[in-house]
Structure 1
Amino acid sequence: MTGENKKAARSDLDEAALYFHKHPRPGKLEIQATKPLGNQRDLALAYSPGVAAPCLEIRDNPAAAADYTARANLVGVVSNGTAVLGLGNIGPLASK
């Protein structure tokens, strides 16, 4: 592949990546309810007073947090954007 063809292919990939990240909704993640919230009972179980039972269970048995919260399904990545792999210092907003 010639240098010009590589440049065109890269440009096509960049354009496709920008579209991919923007449409149909910006970003790659969304927050969605994992429990039904269709009636008063569902809300009572999810919030007050129902939320007290799992809170107290976790207080008494911290390992239960994996059973009653999203803790076991989440990971956090924190960056100040000064050393993003392959991009260098792009700042905190761009490194999101």
Structure 2
Amino acid sequence: VLCFPGIFRAAMDVRASDINDAMKIAAAKAIAGLVTEDKLCAEYILPTAFDPRLKDAVAAAVAQAARDSGVA
């Protein structure tokens, strides 16, 4: 739920020929990066699926990973 909209948006935007491990790792890192250290606690380790920053952050990171890994 957290990664799929951003991964598919990026794959379509850059016309990626594949969704590879580099893209999946980029998505995970983008998601993790949305939780700042001052907000991090036992109850909040991942952003919610309704976080408005989520889709765009994941899409940007995944698109860059697709370009960097040569599938875009």
TM-score by length of 1: 0.23
TM-score by length of 2: 0.28
Which structure has the bigger radius of gyration? Answer: 1
Q: Which is bigger in relative contact order (C-alpha 8 A, separation at least 6)?
A: 2
